[in-house]
Amino acid sequence: MRAAIFEQFNGPIPVVEIAEPECPGDGVIVEIKACGICRSDWHGWNGTDPDISLPHVGGHEFAGVIVETGSDCTQRQIGERVTAPFILGCGICGECQHGDATICDHQHVVGFSGFGAFAQRLAVPHADFNLVQLPEEIDFVTAASMGCRMTTAYRGLVDRAQLQPGEWLAVHGVGGVGLSAVMIAAAIGAKVLAIDVNDDALKMASQLGATATLNVSNLSNVGAKVREITSGGADVSIDALGITATFHNSIYGLRKLGRHVQIGMPLGEHAKPDLPLLDLVYARQISIMGTRGIASSRFSGIFGLIADGKLDPGKLITRQVSLDQVGEVIKGMNTYTDHGIAVVSQF
Ligand SMILES: [Zn+2]
Ligand SMILES: [Zn+2]
């Protein structure tokens, strides 16, 4: 089958013929119909993600059709339209049984700890537990845009921070996951301040439901400005990028008792912030929480927002590309100029 392959870090990503994946006993083979290209793929390609060993096939936001089922997979059918979270739980440990597959000790991370979906077909283990059947009205490309960014934003805001209608959310960094957070927050009736250094990204945030925007290119005290715009500080604030500057801006922009959620993956030398334990955590009593991915059981919450007409993930898709263009899209992320989501739809 054809797959776009990382042969060296920061190198070209050629499309080559590789062996067909083997169907796990409790898993399935999915024929990939669409796969989003995410900043975490870029981290994998540039060598900062510790899980990646070469050669590697990335791609973790996939949707497709089941073409083979293993002998121990009892609840899935050939022909079923499916997607899955990028963190696949074992399905049997205590965490998985309690709905917390994202912290499963035996997790399989699609496109990181194993090959991903920048390929014609993908093996998905523990398929009864991890796969999510797609509602008829959600097409493959839209579903692929949700596998990481939209679902990660949903869990961070709804399940972790418990963002409420009418509260202020500050979003630091409006790339794919930041824009997803803007859309989720708008869908549940929160007020959103979108923050970035790029006017085009901020314009897109406005179009997707941000109440206000702030360009911080030439701003030294971002936290104070956020507290001013939000009349005392954000109730919830997210670092959607994962670097020291955006983390600090996020926690300093919170109101007392505010909740910070770390959504951007903090990798490398630019993500080693100190923590103002006395001034913020103790005195202002802020909360700092992490979030990563979502469990398959929680997709229903997002499907509900879509069915109610409150959320249209398709608005985030700016272009559809072929497998041969994966390399140029990932390389293009070096500059942070691309907004919205690119989805591979031709394999
Ligand atoms: Zn587990
Ligand atoms: Zn991702």
pLDDT tops 80 at residue 83? yes
In the structure, what pLDDT confidence band is assigned to residue 329 with cuts at 50, 70 and 90?
very high
Q: Are 141 and 134 in contact, with CB atoms under 8 Å apart? A: no
The tens digit of pLDDT for each residue in 104-159 reads 999 999 999 999 999 999 999 999 999 999 999 999 999 998 888 999 999 999 99
Q: How far out from the chain centre does Cα 45 lie?
A: 17
CA of 246 to the centre of ligand 2 (A): 19
CA of 101 to the centre of ligand 1 (A): 6
What would the mean pLDDT of 223-229 be, rounded to a whole number? 98
pLDDT tops 90 at residue 50? no
CA of 130 to the centre of ligand 1 (A): 10
What would the mean pLDDT of 51-77 be, rounded to a whole number? 96
CA of 96 to the centre of ligand 1 (A): 4
CA of 24 to the centre of ligand 1 (A): 17
- Rounded CA-CA distance 27/20 in Å is 15
CA of 270 to the centre of ligand 1 (A): 32
- What pLDDT does residue 147 have? 82
CA of 125 to the centre of ligand 1 (A): 12
**Between 244-252 and 222-229, two packed helices, what is the crossing angle to 10 degrees?**
40
What would the mean pLDDT of 326-347 be, rounded to a whole number? 90
Which residues lie closer than 8 Å to 53 by C-beta, 6 or more apart? none
Which ligand is in closest contact with the Cα of 103? 1
DSSP H or E segment with residue 238: strand 234-239
Which ligand is in closest contact with the Cα of 95? 1
73: left (phi over 0), alpha (psi -120 to 50) or beta: beta
What would the mean pLDDT of 14-42 be, rounded to a whole number? 97
Instruction: State the pairing for strand pair 132-133/81-83.
Output: antiparallel
- What pLDDT does residue 340 have? 79
CA of 231 to the centre of ligand 2 (A): 33
The tens digit of pLDDT for each residue in 262-294 reads 999 898 888 899 999 999 999 999 999 999 999
Q: Are 81 and 140 in contact, with CB atoms under 8 Å apart? A: yes
CA of 344 to the centre of ligand 2 (A): 14
- Rounded CA-CA distance 347/166 in Å is 43
What pTM was computed for the model? 0.93
Return the half-sphere exposure (C-beta side, CA atoms, 13 A cut-off) of residue 50: 4
Which ligand is in closest contact with the Cα of 60? 2
- What pLDDT does residue 337 have? 72
Residues with CB under 5 A from ligand 2 (ion): 38, 40, 148
CA of 129 to the centre of ligand 1 (A): 10
Q: Which residue has the tokens 């927050």?
A: 185
Q: What is the mean pLDDT of the chain?
A: 95
CA of 60 to the centre of ligand 2 (A): 6
In the structure, what pLDDT confidence band is assigned to residue 344 with cuts at 50, 70 and 90?
very high
Q: Which residue has the tokens 């014609």?
A: 120
- What pLDDT does residue 51 have? 84
How wide is the angle at C-alpha 302 spanned by C-alphas 165 and 332, nearest 5°? 100
Pick from 241, 233, 239, 178: nearest CA to 210:
178
CA distances from 194 to 132, 246, 302 (A): 31, 12, 21
Percent of the chain with pLDDT over 70: 100
